[in-house]
Amino acid sequence: MLTVDFHRLGLEPGDLILDMGAGAGRHAFEVYRRGAHIIALDYSLADLKDVSGLFAAMGTAGEAPEGTVAATVNGDGTRLPFPDDTFDHIICSEVMEHIPDDSAAAAELARVLKPGGSLAVTVPTWLPEKVCWALNDEYHAPFVEGGHVRIFTEATLRKRFRDAGLKPGQVHHAHALHSPYWWLKCAVGPTNDANPLVQAYHRLLVWDITKAPKLTRWTEKVLNPVLGKSLVLYATKPLATSPSKQARREPARA
């Protein structure tokens, strides 16, 4: 299940991509399949071990173009272990809402993105997230370790990355069918996966993801602008201004 639209991101074979906070690797695997070089970074060593194993299996099975590189790195999103201007594109999906110092994370993402490069960042959408917080305290921090620490509005997310030096652009919403699922989970307890209603809805989501029937695809497309669980923002890093251009822009001094 992908949240990011790779066409809007501008991904091309041979590009170098960072998936910051890769988790189970859903976006990283698709990047690898498309022939771009991918570095999946996460704080969890357990998640990275699984991602690394699947990268290896994909390479052995020929599911990625020959010569494409995939690697995992353990790291902190507020102190990325990469030089400035490293990556052609960056994906940061469902991560910013977990980071207490989100301004530092945004600044680091901007730092390691190449001038002219693009970033796709996704966070829970304000309205569906607001409902989850209201239904159960066990869904978010400080009541649960590792839970969400804030609710973003589109304006707040744009400002965060604008302040980091990027130029925010297009937005869209995704996964409207997942919002009721999380409301249901919060109503019965976020960890209560044995609840019959939760299990039934989960089977529906799995069926939808694996079969992609037209009915549910069109239903979600219609509902996404209002109920989409994820907000996706695309931003670019301005090209560096050459000294000669900068001199022409500055007024003459007496």
Per-residue pLDDT for 80 more than 50? yes
* Predicted confidence (pLDDT) at residue 77 exceeds the cutoff of 90: yes
Query: CB neighbours of 161 closer than 8 A, spacing ≥ 6?
Result: 106, 109, 110, 119, 121, 168, 233, 235
Residue 146 binned pLDDT confidence (cut-offs 50, 70, 90) = confident
CATH architecture of 6-176+226-238: 3-Layer(aba) Sandwich (3.40)
Q: Where are the domains of the chain?
A: 6-176+226-238
The pLDDT value given to residue 228: 97
Give CA separation, 17 vs 43, 67, 71, in Å: 18, 15, 11
**Alpha-carbon torsion, ordered 45, 47, 53, 57, to 10 deg:** -160
Q: What is the pLDDT of residue 58?
A: 97
Contact (CB, 8 A) for 42 and 48: yes
State the Cα torsion 213-215-216-219 to the nearest 10°: 150
- Over residues 107-116, mean pLDDT: 98
Residue 124 near residue 157, CB atoms below 8 Å: no
Query: Rounded distance, CA 245 to CA 248, Å?
Result: 5
Residue 108: pLDDT over 80: yes
SS3 at position 74 = strand
Chain segment 156-191, per-residue pLDDT in tens:
999 999 999 999 999 999 999 999 999 999 999 999
37 — phi, psi (to 5°)?
-75, 135
Tens digits of residue pLDDT in 208-251: 999 999 999 999 999 999 999 999 999 999 997 544 333 333 44
pLDDT tens-digit map of 115-129: 999 999 999 999 999
Show Cβ contacts of residue 216 under 8 Å, excluding neighbours closer than 6 positions: 177, 208
Angle in degrees, CA 57, 62, 64, rounded to 5: 90
User: Can you give the pTM of this predicted structure?
Assistant: 0.91
Residues with Cβ within 8 Å of residue 192, at least 6 apart in sequence: 185, 198
What is the rounded distance in angstroms from the CA atom of residue 97 to the CA atom of residue 50?
23
Contact residues for 226 (Cβ-Cβ < 8 A; gap 6+): 127, 176
